[in-house]
Chains A and B, each alone.
Chain A
Amino acid sequence: MASRILAVMEQRDGALRKVSREVVAAARRLADGSGGTVDALVLAAGPVADADSLGRFGADHVLVATHPDFRLYQPDGFAATIGAAATGYAAIVFAATSTGRDLAPRVAARLKVAYASDVTALAAEDGAVTVTRPVYAGKALQRARLTAEPAVVSVRPNTFPAVESPKAGEAGTVEVPAFATRVTVREIKAPTQAALDVSEAAVVVSGGRGLREPANFRLIEELAAAFGNAAVGASRAVVDAGWRDHGAQVGQTGKTVSPGLYIAVGISGAIQHLAGMRTAKTIVAINKDKDAPIFKTADYGIVGDLFEIVPRLTEEVRRARGAQ
């Protein structure tokens, strides 16, 4: 049976967020198994730049739900709108971002269906959705089947690459039902540290206790800046010591990341840190202790003084990128 999949998009300040195309790509995998269709749903206060590109990335329909309160995230209104629109869909796909993680459980509870969070693989099998999701911070993988319809899932950023898969992208609208505003998002403040989040960045450069003091994180920031698209991460030890915001922490009580490149600087590699970054595609470790456990997980290691190695690496990366 051809199934219809609803893909919930994210926008900020009237522009589509990058992860939205990944959500469409994940929804496409569920739809294509059964000759089904993908409807991308954009919730916003007005026009959203790039929404019309979603057809190119696999959306059969691009539906817009517009409401003056949807300039920022409006949890009650978003949940009410998606809940009301859910009829007839075999699955609803969210991004496992701060917004998706907040919104998806609300929608699932409204619809009285199960929700599988942060999935890294999904498929439609025998009329049900099966998922793979990391548990114990990636130390184990759980395979599960969602038997209620619609199946609600959120997909981990950087896991389902956006692919060009031209579809009609036919425009439509979704009605926003009356909703009770219980929570109001008043504003988004700029963060005190890194603007780019470790869970979404293509490159993550993380620092640990080997940096000796907080001011030396400058070396990590400079290396991240050299990559242009890198986020700054941190080990639990330095977050607990107050050197970095907890939002930067990679590991079991922090974030689990899957970037294309992860560079661990002065991090020994405690089991709870390794759990948070082992799904990175390529891992580089720089540490003075050749027996540090991080070298067992890293693809490439350099043994030596990070205070000499990192500035040189920054310089080489700058040169390599400048030459492109």
Chain B
Amino acid sequence: MKIAVCLKRVADTTSKIVIGADGKSIDEAGLKFVPNPYDEFAVEEALALKEKAGAGETVVYSLGGDSAAETLRTALAMGIDRAVLLKSPGSPDGLAVAQALAAELGTGGYDLILFGKLAVDDYNHQVGGMTAELLGLPCITAVAHLTIDGGVVEAEREIEGGIEVATCSLPAVITCDKGLNNPRLPSLKGIMAAKKKPLETRPAALGDATLEVLGLELPPERQPGRIVGEGVEAVPVLLELLRTEAKVL
């Protein structure tokens, strides 16, 4: 089985966000960057599926600047066979990114293309589904449980108040949710091996963006709250405030 994984380099989720000088992006100074957490589920799933099949190839793609090479090396250290960096300044328009990925992945002969369900920076939640649509491939998004047997995919995805069970055939695109697996940590041996694994770089063919970012700002600060009391005696005070002041009861 030949599997592609799409991986994005994002600011660590524990980062404090500072708005950059252009007023449209974040100030990256001093931030730690990591593989997008949902994409790590995709990497782990690709590795587990290849191990189970006993044969195949896993390839990781990232669209971004030179710094994304470091993120790709992390995936190689986890066990992915080779990496491709699609050099690009990126785009806030998910469709423009999906067009670049579809152009690249469409000719790869992949049985399975895996994404994280969303990237924890722009929260666009769309590139996987769009790429599938552009490629004319079946797609199941936000998958928390996956089985593949004889070319048939069965996937479970959480929906409001239930779990949706969906099926499709390979080749397919799957986007991964938390709960799918527990991503392995790169071993020391893996980190050493990753240095010798192939990492190709080529330019990305981004589509034209029709979404333009006008600005980025910090959300309004919440009004400072107050401690209404200590222990059980404070409960009636709280109830009264919820009723009369917050009016939520």
Residue of B nearest to A256 (CB): B123
B215 in contact (CB, < 8 A): yes
Q: Is the CB of A282 within 8 A of B242?
A: yes
Residue of A nearest to B130 (CB): A109
**Given known A-B contacts A135-B216, A140-B219, A316-B236, A97 and B242 have beta carbons under 8 A apart:** no
Per a CB cutoff under 8 Å, which of A98, A146, A186, A312 touches B232? A312
For the complex, what is the distance from the CA of A249 to the CA of B211, rounded to whole Å?
A: 30
Of A23-31, A44-52, A162-170, A188-196, the one contacting chain B is A188-196
Q: How far in angstroms is the closest Cβ of chain B from A183?
A: 5
B48 in contact (CB, < 8 A): no
Q: Is the CB of A144 within 8 A of B13?
A: no
For the complex, what is the distance from the CA of A104 to the CA of B138, rounded to whole Å?
A: 15
Q: Is the CB of B126 within 8 A of A197?
A: no
For the complex, what is the distance from the CA of A115 to the CA of B161, rounded to whole Å?
A: 26
In the bound complex, residues from chain B placing their C-beta under 8 Å from that of A118 are 123, 125
State the main secondary structure of chain B at its contact with A. Answer: mixed
Q: Is the CB of A73 within 8 A of B227?
A: no
State the main secondary structure of chain A at its contact with B. Answer: mixed
Of B53-61, B72-80, B89-97, B185-193, the one contacting chain A is B89-97
In the bound complex, residues from chain B placing their C-beta under 8 Å from that of A72 are 164
Residue of A nearest to B223 (CB): A299
Of A33-41, A61-69, A301-309, the one contacting chain B is A301-309
In this complex, how many residues of chain A approach chain B with their Cβ under 8 Å: the count is: 96
Q: Is the CB of B238 within 8 A of A182?
A: no
Q: Is the CB of A136 within 8 A of B138?
A: no
Of A84-92, A171-179, A212-220, A290-298, the one contacting chain B is A290-298
Q: How far in angstroms is the closest Cβ of chain A from B68?
A: 18
Per a CB cutoff under 8 Å, which of B162, B168, B211, B232 touches A304? B232
A145 in contact (CB, < 8 A): yes
Per a CB cutoff under 8 Å, which of A113, A188, A203, A316 touches B162? A188
B67 in contact (CB, < 8 A): no
1/0 contact trace for A102-137 toward B, CB 8 Å? 101110111011111110000000000010011111
In the bound complex, residues from chain B placing their C-beta under 8 Å from that of A309 are 231-232, 234-235
A contact residues vs B (CB 8 Å cutoff): 17, 72-73, 75-76, 79, 97-99, 101-102, 104-106, 108-110, 112-118, 130, 133-148, 182-191, 195-197, 199-200, 203, 239, 245-247, 249, 252-254, 260-261, 270-272, 278-279, 281-284, 290, 295-305, 308-309, 312-313, 316-317, 320-321
Additional A-B contacts beyond A79-B133, A184-B167 (16; CB < 8 A): A98-B158, A109-B98, A117-B124, A145-B214, A184-B168, A190-B163, A191-B158, A195-B161, A246-B178, A254-B178, A281-B246, A284-B242, A305-B231, A309-B235, A313-B235, A317-B239
A sample of 9 inter-chain contacts (CB < 8 A) reads A117-B123, A117-B126, A140-B219, A143-B214, A183-B166, A197-B161, A247-B179, A302-B238, A303-B231
B contact residues vs A (CB 8 Å cutoff): 11, 13-17, 19, 26, 37-38, 92-95, 98, 120-134, 137-142, 144, 156-169, 177-179, 209-219, 222-232, 234-236, 238-239, 241-243, 246, 248-249
